[in-house]
Amino acid sequence: MLSNSQVKHINALKIKKYRDEYKEFIAEGNTLVTDLTKSSYEIAGVYALSEWITGNLDVIGHKNIPVYEADPADMERITSLSSPSPVLAIVKIPAGMAAGLDSAGYGSPEQNIPGLFEELSVMLEGISDPGNMGTLLRIADWFGIRNVICSETCVELYNPKVVQASMGSVARVSVFYTDLSRFLENLKGRLPVYGTFLQGDSIYSIPLENKGIILIGSEAHGISDPLSGFVTGRLYIPSFGSTDNGKAESLNAAVATAVVIAEFRRRGL
Amino acid sequence: MLSNSQVKHINALKIKKYRDEYKEFIAEGNTLVTDLTKSSYEIAGVYALSEWITGNLDVIGHKNIPVYEADPADMERITSLSSPSPVLAIVKIPAGMAAGLDSAGYGSPEQNIPGLFEELSVMLEGISDPGNMGTLLRIADWFGIRNVICSETCVELYNPKVVQASMGSVARVSVFYTDLSRFLENLKGRLPVYGTFLQGDSIYSIPLENKGIILIGSEAHGISDPLSGFVTGRLYIPSFGSTDNGKAESLNAAVATAVVIAEFRRRGL
């Protein structure tokens, strides 16, 4: 059985203020916790039903992870989900990575982001919905994108809804928060920057390199004017609907991102 | 100002039981209401702030739609959104279409669904999340898919969250609910049925016709075994991620659907 102070600590981590203070976040569910134990994240503690512990000794055994046995009533008290899962982990927020590029790092993004100049990376401006953010990380992961660079206006990576919606991709994709204008200013002329707009060149007809940045705008406003200025390749996903009664105005941000990245990857096949 | 009975009636329509009883649903927001007034849906009433009414006389004027002026406090009382919009409509659920194919219609789906044999249609099995359902309709609309055929286990089309997430696409895409096994049994040999799986032939290497059915499985379980038997083209979206630390297990249903439909449309360009 968990102590009241353990339950209180876990529940505090549902709130950003305490995640910032304790430098920890929570992850819930078998796949997510298992994926995190295999990643570079450090696990501060695993809270699980005895059956889960017995069945997952290989996952936790050799990693020196503190494990606390919980009963179903404990899991009810600490869950963020509509029905509690058999395992929840407290995970340490890494000091440098994903806590944001240090402001001293602005001038040399290539030193902070491995592979930036050789690969495709995704850049997110103002993604505010945690479910969208998690889905975007899952898409990046599926398509082998290692680095996701976020504006400081994006929802926090360690929001429990982002962590859950990423379905474990949070353990594999590196996420950086920074001032995108400064970042792109420093990259100018050194990497192509692709942006998705509601008009532009069809993604099926323009040349696409297999390195560079794919910039995705916010759900409500798309790519802002200041950042548009850095875009070297304006992409458009052709729409095929058109009835007397109009057509869909847009695709949602995650869906558009997936269609665009898939086309980059198809070209590279 | 709206009467208490008006407010009560609108709020009742947030619940499926009353939507079924009154054969009406609610739609909220300027774009959605405007799109619906241009569609074949019949509007039972529009409830709006006076500014909205003044600015939209062309939308409602020549259509004989009953319009009720509401004050901001009224809109607060009837909204389903986190902040109320200036307009909400009560819309009639059409008798045949989208209320489900009549069981008498099972034997001849071609009579019920215009264009079924000449076009691509989307078929959804067990999509339970209203946001996913709305997003799927928006994707179909964007890519010019007219018909969406749903299992009876899919979330109800007129659930307010589906209507909102569709961003007006509910006004343009025709949605049918039916027993998918019977439906596909009747179609056997007459149309290709494509299904997306976690393994199969890469969508980038197999032949794709520009007619047929694209079958999408549920968020949690994918395409069920009984329906898999009807699939003539097993599709797989290649994954490019693979680190020592595993990779994303899947894409979400809406994202996978968009990537697949985009590839069908690209081939047709």
Instruction: Mark yes or no for CB contact A31/B249 under 8 Å.
Output: yes
Give the residue-averaged pLDDT of A163-181.
91
Instruction: Mark yes or no for CB contact B245/A171 under 8 Å.
Output: yes
Number of A/B CB contacts below 8 angstroms equals 127
Per-residue model confidence as pLDDT tens digits over B25-42: 999 999 899 989 988 899
Task: Tell me the shortest Cα–Cα distance from B52 to chain A, in angstroms.
Answer: 21
- Is the predicted pLDDT of residue B62 greater than 90, yes or no? no
pLDDT of residue A241: 67
The CA distance from B181 to B228, in Å, is 10
Coil vs helix vs strand at B181: helix
- Is the predicted pLDDT of residue B235 greater than 80, yes or no? yes
Bridge partners of residue A222, in order along the sequence = A218
pLDDT of residue A160: 94
Structure tokens at A80: 């963020």
pLDDT of residue A144: 94
A255 — pLDDT class (breaks 50, 70, 90): very high
In 3D space, the residue among B236, B237, B189 whose CA is nearest the CA of residue B213 turns out to be B189
The CA distance from A113 to A190, in Å, is 15
In 3D space, the residue among A268, A208, A202 whose CA is nearest the CA of residue A235 turns out to be A202
B105 — pLDDT class (breaks 50, 70, 90): very low
The count of other CB atoms within 10 Å of the CB of residue B102 is 11
Per-residue model confidence as pLDDT tens digits over A75-118: 999 998 888 899 999 999 987 644 445 444 444 555 678 889 99
Task: Tell me the shortest Cα–Cα distance from B266 to chain A, in angstroms.
Answer: 7
Instruction: Mark yes or no for CB contact B248/A39 under 8 Å.
Output: no
Instruction: Mark yes or no for CB contact B239/A38 under 8 Å.
Output: no
Query: Rounded to whole angstroms, what are the CA distances from A36 to A42, A47, A156, B145, B231?
Result: 8, 14, 18, 40, 36
Pairing of strands A233-236, A193-202: parallel
pLDDT of residue A18: 96
Q: What is the mean pLDDT of chain A?
A: 89
Task: Write down the pTM of the prediction.
Answer: 0.90
Report chain B residues touching chain A, CB-CB < 8 A.
Answer: 31, 35, 38-39, 131, 135, 138-139, 141-145, 167-169, 171-172, 204, 237-252, 254-255, 258-259, 262-263, 265-266, 269
**H helix runs in chain B, sequence order:** 4-12, 16-22, 30-37, 50-55, 57-61, 72-78, 109-112, 130-142, 160-165, 180-187, 225-228, 253-268
Per-residue model confidence as pLDDT tens digits over A124-165: 999 999 999 999 999 999 999 999 999 999 999 999 999 999
The DSSP string of A71-105 is -HHHHHHH--SSS--SEEEEEEPPSSTTS---GGG
pLDDT of residue A2: 92
Bridge partners of residue B26, in order along the sequence = B90
Give the residue-averaged pLDDT of B62-88.
91
pLDDT of residue A99: 42
- Ordered by where they begin, the domains of chain B are 4-92 (3.30.1330.30), 103-268 (3.40.1280.10)
For chain B, first and last CA: distance in Å?
53
Q: Which residues contact A154 (CB under 8 A, 6 or more apart)?
A: A124, A125, A126, A127, A128, A133, A177
A244 — pLDDT class (breaks 50, 70, 90): low
